[in-house]
Amino acid sequence: MKYLIWLVVLLAVVVWFQRAKKSMLAGNDNGPEARPESGIPRPKMGAARRSAEPGAETMVQCAHCGIHFPSSEAVVHASGAHYCCEEHRRLASF
Ligand SMILES: [Zn+2]
């Protein structure tokens, strides 16, 4: 367990050195982004969290009335069209 902690510390130091080297090669201090304590850039994390949201689901449109609803509630016709309920699927088949 002690070695794991040292491994993490070593990795952090290596990453910090690489970042410092990269910012040195890029030239002067680029502001808050070049500082090692600012950590990982945040916009990517936010985008990933939004797509992994449990409430998010693919929305489909009813081919009969045009209402939007989650695909899990869809009544799918043999042709592949989605309907909001069994009645609309039946009405569309006529
Ligand atoms: Zn409908």
Spell out the per-residue pLDDT of the chain, length 94, in tens: 778 888 888 888 888 989 988 888 887 555 555 555 556 555 555 555 555 556 678 999 999 999 999 999 999 998 899 999 999 999 986 6
What is the Å distance from ligand 1's center to 52 Cα? 28
Q: What is the pLDDT of residue 88?
A: 93
DSSP state of 54: T
The Cα-based distances of 83 to 29, 68, 70, 80 in angstroms read 57, 9, 11, 10
What is the Å distance from ligand 1's center to 36 Cα? 55
Q: What is the pLDDT of residue 94?
A: 63
Q: What is the pLDDT of residue 43?
A: 58
What is the Å distance from ligand 1's center to 91 Cα? 10
Q: What is the pLDDT of residue 54?
A: 65
Cα atoms in the 13 Å half-sphere on the side-chain side of 27: 3
What is the Å distance from ligand 1's center to 70 Cα? 12
pTM above 0.85, yes or no: no
What is the Å distance from ligand 1's center to 77 Cα? 12
Q: What is the pLDDT of residue 3?
A: 85
Cα angle value 57/66/86 (rounded, 5°): 80
Tell me the backbone φ, ψ of residue 30, rounded to 5 degrees.
Answer: -90, 20
